[in-house]
């Protein structure tokens, strides 16, 4: 798995981080975090599966203490190369999410954050173990925020149905592992609707917030299709901003943001 994401790291920023679709979806996440996190308070934050570090750097720039981890040494190397002198209290570490319990930190965290499908790399059994380990790493009333891919994606359904590719249109709708292509690399992926995440975590966490991310903004693999359609993307982005208030739509979006509070 480490080697797979090392390969994906080479093109990840080009295909997602700096893409029009990637920026629009990430802006939705940042907007939610800005409203969720208390202002003028320095939080201790752990990011899981941080990729090339864009989110971790943004969180540190907001004044928080951040430890960002990823299984891929290449992802971590790229993330470290982006870190400039003005960013304080930011550390990048190579760590397998399945070994979270081995992380040595001086103090527990206010927030554990995983963006854009990081938790979809875990099987149901691994996800249960993750919540146990995460609960032990959090302060009282600490929060997990995950941005997760559900079993349905409205825009994906529409796109592939129009192309007559019905199997691809509903490929997410399974309890089994799906082999997903991430920047040319095959990655084992499990799709989870919000109720499944709530069920798996219910003994340790209670749900605080649930928001759709990318209900109308399409998946990033459609970047080339929308490359010269900035006006349409703007309309879709505005629709996302409006419909994000409806939590029940989370299971139909490309991703959803779920906030869980430690019991």
- Model confidence pLDDT, tens digit, residues 24-48: 999 999 999 999 999 889 999 999 9
Residue 198 CB burial class (10 angstroms; 0-12, 13-18, ≥19) = middle
- The mean predicted confidence, pLDDT, of the chain is 95
Of 92, 63, 60, residue with least CA distance to 78 = 92
Domain harbouring 110, CATH code: 3.40.50.150
Tally of domains within the chain: 1
CA–CA separation, 176 and 173 (whole Å): 9
Q: Which residue has the higher pLDDT, 252 or 15?
A: 252
Joined tokens for residue 71? 């299984």
Joined tokens for residue 107? 């103090």
**Residue 2: what pLDDT?**
58
Of 255, 183, 214, 153, residue with least CA distance to 20 = 214
Domain containing 133: what range? 2-262
pTM for the predicted model, two decimal places = 0.95
Q: How confident is the model at residue 106 (pLDDT cuts 50, 70, 90)?
A: confident
Pairing state of beta strands 178-182 and 185-189? antiparallel
- Model confidence pLDDT, tens digit, residues 61-90: 999 999 999 999 999 999 999 988 778 899
**Residue 254: what pLDDT?**
98
- Model confidence pLDDT, tens digit, residues 140-180: 999 999 999 999 999 999 999 999 999 999 999 999 999 98
**Residue 3: what pLDDT?**
58
Q: Is the pLDDT of residue 184 over 90?
A: no
CA–CA separation, 115 and 176 (whole Å): 22
**Residue 183: what pLDDT?**
72
**Residue 1: what pLDDT?**
57
């Amino acid at each position: 798995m480490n080697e797979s994401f090392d390969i994906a790291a080479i093109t990840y920023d080009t295909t997602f981080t700096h893409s029009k679709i990637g920026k629009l979806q990430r802006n939705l996440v940042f907007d939610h975090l800005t409203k969720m996190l208390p202002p003028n308070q320095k939080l201790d934050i752990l990011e899981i599966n941080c990729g090339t570090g864009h989110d971790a750097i943004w969180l540190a720039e907001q004044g928080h203490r951040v430890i960002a981890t990823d299984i891929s040494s290449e992802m971590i190397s790229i993330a470290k190369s982006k870190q400039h002198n003005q960013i304080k209290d930011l550390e990048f570490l190579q760590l397998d999410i399945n070994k979270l319990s081995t992380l040595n930190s001086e103090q527990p965290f206010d927030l554990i954050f995983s963006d854009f499908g990081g938790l979809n790399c875990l099987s149901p059994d691994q996800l249960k173990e993750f919540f146990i380990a995460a609960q032990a790493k959090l302060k009282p009333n600490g929060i997990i925020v995950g941005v997760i891919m559900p079993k349905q994606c409205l825009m994906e359904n529409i796109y592939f149905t129009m192309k007559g590719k019905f199997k691809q249109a509903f490929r997410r709708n399974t309890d089994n592992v799906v082999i997903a292509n991430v920047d040319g690399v095959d990655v084992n992926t499990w799709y989870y609707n919000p109720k499944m995440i709530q069920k798996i975590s219910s003994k340790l966490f209670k749900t605080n917030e649930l928001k759709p991310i990318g209900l109308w903004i399409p998946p990033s693999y459609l970047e080339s299709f929308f490359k010269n359609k900035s006006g349409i993307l703007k309309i879709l982005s505005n629709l996302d901003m409006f419909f994000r208030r409806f939590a029940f739509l989370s299971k139909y979006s490309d991703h959803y943001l779920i906030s869980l509070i430690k019991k």
